[in-house]
A and B are shown apart, each in its own frame.
Chain A
Amino acid sequence: MALKTLTYLVVGFTFVVYIAIAIWSKAKSTGEFYVAGKGVHPIANGMATAADWMSAASFISMAGIIAFAGYDGSRFLMGWTGGFVLLALLLAPYLRKYGKFTVPEFIGDRYYSKTARIVAVICLLFISFTYIAGQMRGVGIVFSRFLEVPIGTGLIVGMGIVFIYAVLGGMKGITYTQIAQYCVLIFAFTVPAIFIAFQLTGNFIPQVAFASKVIGTDLYLIEKLNQVIVDLGFPNYTESQRSTLDMFCITAALMIGTAGLPHVIVRFFTVPNVSDARYSAGWALFFIGILYLTAPAIGSMARLNLTNTVQIGVVGDAEGNLFYEERPEWFRTWESTGLLTFEDKNNDGRVQYYDDSNPDFEEQANAFGWQGNELVIDRDIMVLANPEIANLPAWVIALIAAGGVAAALSTAAGLLLVISSSISHDLLKGVIAPSITESQELFAGRISAAVAIGIAGLLGYYPPAFVAQVVAFAFGLAAASLFPVLMLGIFTKTINKEGAIAGMLTGLIFTYGYIEFFKGLFLQWAGTPFAADTPDNWIFGISPEGIGIVGMILNITVAVIVSKLTNPPPEEVQNLVEEIRHPQ
C-alpha cells in the first residue's frame, strides 16, 4: 500500500475514535463542561494532563532541539517537567479544595475583586492565544508534510475535529479524547526510538541505549557522538555553551511558567478530591516522563546517525564525505520539503557538514578545501524523518503523522476550554451578566469555544511574529503574572487585592516590555526591535526567555509592599484561605 494511503488511513482512524468519544461523552451541565463533573480517576487525569501538556513542540521539535543543542537543550527537558513539582506541592491540591471552575475565579474570590479577576482573564487570554496559535500551526504543518495538502486545508480539518469534541463534550469530551491521544502519541514517539536504539547499540530500551556501546566500536554512544562532532568543529555535546546564569533563569522561568499555565491547572479541578489531585500530578509527570526520557536518547542517536550518513569516512579525506549523487532516499524526500537543503559551495560533488562558525576550525577546513557548511538541516527532521533514516516500515511513518496531530490537537483543545470558560464563566457570568441561567451559560461557553477555534485557526494560518516566541511569552508571562498571585493567595493571608493587582500588572508589564524590547513583536509592525537580541544588551546577561523569573520576583516584591501599605484582606477571605489549606 502506498505510504500516503496508509497515512490517510491511520490518521483517519484516529479521527473517527476522537469523534466517537465526543458523541459518547457529551457534556450536559456547566460542571461537566468546565471540569468533567469532577469525577475523573487520578490516573486517567494524569494521562489526559500528559496529552494536554505535551504539545506539537514536545512531540515534533524537542528531540531535534536537544540533538543540535546537546546539554543546552536540557533547559526544555527540565523546564517543562519540573513545574509539575511546583503544581503538586504549591497549587493543585488547594485549588482543587477551593472547588470551583476556573483560575480567574479563584483569583477573583481570594482577592475579593472583580478587577483582579479581569486582570487574570487578560493574562490567561494572552498566554493561551499565544500558545494555541503554535498548535494550530503544528497541525497545518503535519498535514502538509505527510498528507500533502495545503496548510490551510490541514488547519480547517484540524479545527473541525477540535470543534466537534471540544464544543460538544467540553472538559468531559476533552478528557477522554486526550487519553486516546496520549496513547497514540506515546506509541508513535517510542516505536521508532526502540528500533533506532536496537540498530545502533543492540539494546531495545532507548534510555539504556543512551548509556550503551555503539555496535562495531568500543565507544559508548555519547563518547562516540562527542568524538564525531568535535572532529567536525561542532561544540562538545555534553557541555554548556550558554552562561550559567542565563541557563538558570530560563530553566527556572520555564518551570514556574509551567506551574502557572491555566490549561494545566484546570486539569486538576477534574479529580474527585484533594489527595487525588496530588497523586494525579505524579501520574501526569510519570506519563510525560516516558516521552521526556526518550527524547534525549532520540536526540543523541539521531545526531550520530545523521552525521555518520554525511561523514562516511575520515574527516578531511577526499573520499570522507557523502557523494551527493549517492544520497539516501530519505535525503531526497526531505529535500523536496525544504527542511533539508544542500548547496555545493566547493563544487566537489560531495556533502560537507561542519561548523563553519567556529574560528578554531576554520584553518583546518580551509586546508581540506572546504568552503563553508553545505548542509542546512531543520531540527524538526530529527523526529519526522527518524523512521525513514532507520529504514522502518511505512506504518511507522504513518504513525508519526498521527502522533504529531494528536499532540497538537490535545493541547489545542485544553487551551480552547480555558479560553471559553474564562469568557463564559469569568467575564459573562462573573462580571457582565450574573443573572444568566446555567443552560444559557453552557450555550455561551460553546459559542465562545467555537469563536476561539476560529481565531486560533486564523492565527495559525497568518502567524504573527509573537507565535514564534511561545517560550518567552507564554511561559514568561505565566511565571511573572499568574503563578505568584496564586501561590501567595494560598500561602499567605496578608496579601490583599491592591497588592495582587499591582503585583500582577508589574510582572505582566515588565516581562512583556523586556521581551518586546528585544524581540519587537507587536510593535515590529511599526519598526524594528529597540535593541539587538544579544547577550551584550541583556540585563545581567538574562535572555528574554529567562526574564520571567525576574518578573516573578518583582511581582512578589510589589505585592508584599503594597499589601503592607494598604488594608488587610477582610475576615471572610482569611477564612477562605484557612479552608482551602485543609482537605476535610
Chain B
Amino acid sequence: MVAGGVTKFAKAHPAMDFRLMVKRAYDAALAEVPELTTDRIDGSRVSYFSDHFSRQLKAASMVQDYLGLNPKGSVRIEWGGATGGECFQAAFEAVASGRMDVCLAAGYETMSRVATWKGNEFIALASDTNFDFPLGGFYTGYYALMVQRHIYEYIRLRKFAHIKDERQAQRMAIAEGTRVMALVSVKNHVNALHNPYAQYPKQLSVQDALNSEMISYPLTREQICTMSDGAAVAILCDEERAKEFTDRPVEVIGVGTGTDTMRLSDRPFGKVPLMPREKASDYTHLPYPGIHSFRAGRSAGLEAYRMAGIEDPNEELDFIELHDAYSSSEIQTYEDLGLCKYGEGYEFTERGDPFLTQVKYPFPTPKAGAIPVNPSGGLIACGHPVGATGLMQAVFAHWQLQGTIAEHFHDPTLQIADAKLGAIHSHAGTGSAVTVSILKRGF
C-alpha cells in the first residue's frame, strides 16, 4: 500500500454525492504520492454496501467513471459490514496475482439519504428476510442477543456462579458486563478527540455511556456506532512500483477471511479452533461458537496470522483497528483474534491492555499500551459509512505504520511509537463474514 485518503465521516454530506466523496478521498491519496498519476493505475475495486441508500444500481461504475478510470477493469465488492475489508483484499489479490501492477480500492456509503430508522431497516435486510427480519428489522437487537449470551457464559457462570437466584445472578452479570463495555466506548470516543476525521469525538464518562438511551437491552446509544456519509481509498501496487512512488510504503503480509451462518439460530455448538497459545482443555465446557462468539473472526484471524507468520498477536502486533460496531463486539473480537482467551475479554479490558498510554481516560488503565485497539476511535467514534469503513481502517493503519499520524491528524497524540506491524479487521452482520489483514512497515 502506497497511499490512502479519507473524507471526514459525518452524519450527512448533502453537498457531495458518492462520486464526489470518493473523488475527494482519491485526490487526497494521490497528493501523497506525486509520481502516481491516474494513468499509472491499472484498475479498481469499488465497494459500497447497499443499493437502497442511494437507489442507484451499479453505482460503482459511476465512481470508476467519475475518477476517469475507464476503460480499465473494475468490479464492485459487497459483503455486508465487511465490504470495505473485502475490497481491500480484492485489490491486494489483483496485485498479488500479477493481474495489475497498481490497483485502487475505493469505498463509500451515503447513509444520510434516508431517515435513521429506515436505514436500520435496510441494514436488517442483510438478515434472513423469511425468519429474522419480520421480527423487528433491527441489527442492534441481534447483537444484544449475542452479548447477553456472552455475559451469561463468561460472567454469570463464572463470577456469579455462587448466586442461587437465577434472575438476580443474571442481572448482576449484565451490570458488570455493561460497565466493562462502557470502558471500551469511553476509550474509543476519547481517542477520537485527537482524530479530525472522526464523526463523534467526545469526552465521555462511563456513567454517560451507561445512562444514555436504551436501544436494545443491554445496549445503550453510546455503545453503538451510528450511520454516516463518507469515503475512503487505498492504493496498492507491487513492490517494484511501491519503491518508485514512495519511500514510506506499507506491506500487506497476511490476509484472512471467515464466514458463518446468516441466521444466529443456525450457529453450531462445536469446538473452538485454537490459537497457538490455547489448549483444547481451556475450552472443555464451551460449546462454540453458539451465539456468544464470532467464529468467522477466529477463522479470519487464524488465516491471516498463519500467512503473516504471527504466533503471538499480543507480542508481535503494535496495534489493531477492529470493527467495533458495538462496544460488546469489540470485546468479543479481542477473544476471536486471540488477544486473550475466550472468556477473558472483560478482564483484558479492565486491565487496560487495549488502551493507549498517551491518552488520559477517566479511570485507571494499568496495562495500557499492551496492544492498543482502535487508536483512531474505531467505528463507535469515527462513524460507519459501511463501504468505506474497512478502507478507513487501512488508511489509519497505513499512517500509523508510516509514522505520519501527526502530519495527517495535525495532532501527534494517537501515533503509536515505532509502530511496525498492525492488523485491520472488518466484520459483517452478526459475524456472518469477517476479514483480517496484516500490514507491516515496509521501510
A binds B: no
